[in-house]
Amino acid sequence: MSTPEVTPVGPGPGTDEPDQEPTIFVLFGATGDLAHRMVLPAYYELYRRGLMPAHWVLIGNGRGDVSHEDFQGDVRGAVEGTGVQLDEQEWSAFAGRLRFAGGGFDDTDPGSLLDVIDTVRHQVGDNARYIHYLAVPPVAFGPLTDGLKAHDLLTRARVVYEKPYGTSPQSFQELDDRVHAAMDESQVYRIDHFLGKEATQDLHVLRFANTLVASIWNNRHVAQVQIDVPETLDVADRAAFYDATGAFRDMVATHLFQVAAEIAMEPPVSFSAADLQDARESVIAAFRPLRSEDVVFGQVEGYLDLPEVREGSTTETYAAARLWVDTDRWRDVPFVLRSGKQLAKSEQRVTLILKEPDGPLDGVPLHAGELSFSLAGDGEIELSLVLKKPGPGLDTVRQTMRLSLDDVPDSDPLPPYVALLHDVTLGDRSLFTTGAGLEQAWRAAAPIIDAPPTPIRYAVGSDGPAEGDALTDGIGWVAAQFDS
């Protein structure tokens, strides 16, 4: 398999980013679905925006024997599949940095990876650092980590782990011990793409830069917090993975717990990575372990007919939970979380439902005051208030004002995977989960993992089991009420 020369060109078109260290990116699982859908297009977007280091190469790793040229063609297909219109000159320069190392990789057999690294090292730079991305099933995290250590590929390296990073408190601890035996915590980047969303990050700015918002961010003014991610999609394309994981592990105990921490955290000392992570870890430690009466599982009709689903499977395709945060700021305020497949609509929404004020007005609509954030796309903020209905009487009406973040002038939002990969390149761990934080999250989830509730059957296109709605104390799921 021939190895074309790597031409030492700059980071890419239109960059204001200073040159960074020469970098060898290694993408494990490069021929898999996640790499094809998310990771490879994100690398191209980084290059297109001029956010790559000055000198770099990307080596895809997998078990197959794929030529460099064929791998470049596969990457092109992945990028074009996102709807990007390629500039041929730009693409040619990017593709010239792509290599493939086949034969697999573990602690006893590195396949062809070390050979490919040797052929590009002198062209990228003998002092090149490594950024390893593990876009592989969780069962492969441990063996690949052992392999990186055995073949001395962790010196001056950062390692990105996809989720789920463990599937239970025990499996998390076993994996984390294995990872820390190979490298320092500062080298570990546990990815959660919900933290990379522009709208999730904007929660901080909206809260900490606006007195109006900061003053209501507590249990004196908030009756309930909803974090709701219903989906219309099914699981047919990844039924085998999903049947071994379920909605609770896949979404609630991972993504939605992390979003809850973003909302519930105390103001950090600063916006440095260490201080943000400390604030996040502290509030996750205050998550009360879930109780069975606060969790509802559901399974969509027809799930058991999927060919890769085990006969008689009790895996949930819907999970709703009522989480309590035992801090002075949020004590007695329920955080209700929901995610499920094949529901009536798709949303990614955080809503603070405000308490009714004491006052002289009668007939004020219940729970009419809401501050809501759409996490989808570039994000949107909605504020619902009670106003006087124009006319001779003193009738009230609820009105909603919307601010779409993609209308902000001169904005240049980064998709979540692009933003997170950029942060890895810069060494910024602000938006990545820590081992300590995940340990506390698994602690809160443990009672449900140990004794999961029996899933309740629900119809395709419905809002899920009525028992899940009951967790909202009669308010209902706000996301289901929005006109998207």
CATH number reported for the structural domain that contains residue 458 in this entry: 3.30.360.10
pLDDT at 11: 44
- What CA–CA distance (Å, rounded) separates 169 from 428? 27
Q: Are the C-beta atoms of residues 266 and 329 closer than 8 Å to each other?
A: yes
Distance, C-alpha 163 to centroid of its chain: 8
425 located within any domain: no
The CA distances from residue 445 to 173, 178, 278, in Å, are 14, 22, 20
Place of tokens 């309930």: 224
Q: Are the C-beta atoms of residues 101 and 112 closer than 8 Å to each other?
A: yes
- What CA–CA distance (Å, rounded) separates 467 from 297? 9
**Does residue 143 sit in the same domain as residue 286?**
no
- What CA–CA distance (Å, rounded) separates 173 from 422? 28
Out of 162, 179, 214, a domain closes at: 162
pLDDT at 366: 67
Domain count for the chain, please give it. Answer: 2
How many Å is the Cα radius of gyration of the chain? 24
- What CA–CA distance (Å, rounded) separates 72 from 316? 39
Out of 135, 162, 189, a domain closes at: 162
DSSP code of residue 11: S
Residue 431, amino acid: L
Place of tokens 């501050």: 371
**Does residue 221 sit in the same domain as residue 154?**
no
> Using CB atoms within 10 A of its CB, is residue 312 exposed (0-12), middle (13-18) or buried (19+)?
exposed
SS3 226: strand
Check whether 250 is labelled as a binding-site residue. Answer: yes
Q: Are the C-beta atoms of residues 430 and 276 closer than 8 Å to each other?
A: yes
Report the residue count for the chain: 484
Check whether 185 is labelled as a binding-site residue. Answer: no
**Does residue 135 sit in the same domain as residue 210?**
no
Handedness of CA 85, 89, 94, 97 (dihedral sign): positive
> Using CB atoms within 10 A of its CB, is residue 99 exposed (0-12), middle (13-18) or buried (19+)?
buried
Handedness of CA 210, 211, 212, 217 (dihedral sign): positive
Check whether 345 is labelled as a binding-site residue. Answer: no
Check whether 202 is labelled as a binding-site residue. Answer: no
pLDDT at 362: 67
Q: What is the mean pLDDT of each run of 10 residues along the chain (484 residues)?
A: 44 46 96 93 96 95 91 96 93 96 94 96 88 93 97 97 89 96 96 86 88 94 96 88 92 94 95 91 97 97 94 97 98 98 95 85 72 87 83 78 80 86 94 92 96 97 96 90 62
**Does residue 234 sit in the same domain as residue 142?**
no
Residue 363 CB coordination number (10 Å): 8
Check whether 63 is labelled as a binding-site residue. Answer: yes
**Does residue 298 sit in the same domain as residue 406?**
yes
440 located within any domain: no
**Does residue 123 sit in the same domain as residue 206?**
no
Phi-psi region of 163 (alpha: psi -120 to 50; beta: other; left: phi over 0): beta
Q: Are the C-beta atoms of residues 381 and 400 closer than 8 Å to each other?
A: no
Residue 245 CB coordination number (10 Å): 19
209 located within any domain: yes
172 located within any domain: no
**Does residue 216 sit in the same domain as residue 75?**
no
> Using CB atoms within 10 A of its CB, is residue 327 exposed (0-12), middle (13-18) or buried (19+)?
middle
pTM of the model: 0.89
**Does residue 267 sit in the same domain as residue 401?**
yes
Check whether 389 is labelled as a binding-site residue. Answer: no
Check whether 278 is labelled as a binding-site residue. Answer: no
pLDDT at 67: 94
Q: Are the C-beta atoms of residues 70 and 101 closer than 8 Å to each other?
A: no
71 located within any domain: yes
**Does residue 141 sit in the same domain as residue 233?**
no
**Does residue 203 sit in the same domain as residue 155?**
no
Q: Cis omega before residue 447 (within 30°)?
A: no
- What CA–CA distance (Å, rounded) separates 54 from 10? 5
pLDDT at 203: 87
239 located within any domain: yes
Using the CB atoms, write b or e for 396-412: b if 16+ within 10 Å: eeeeeeeeebeeeeeee
Q: Are strands 295-300 and 318-324 parallel, antiparallel or unpaired?
A: antiparallel
Q: Are the C-beta atoms of residues 128 and 118 closer than 8 Å to each other?
A: no
pLDDT at 365: 65
11 located within any domain: no
180 is a catalytic site residue: no
pLDDT at 228: 96
pLDDT at 99: 97
**Does residue 230 sit in the same domain as residue 97?**
no
Marked catalytic residue, from 36, 255, 367, 422: 255
For residue 122, give the CATH number of its domain.
Answer: 3.40.50.720
Domain with 145, as residue range(s), is 23-162
171 located within any domain: no
Out of 162, 188, 208, a domain closes at: 162
**Does residue 154 sit in the same domain as residue 231?**
no
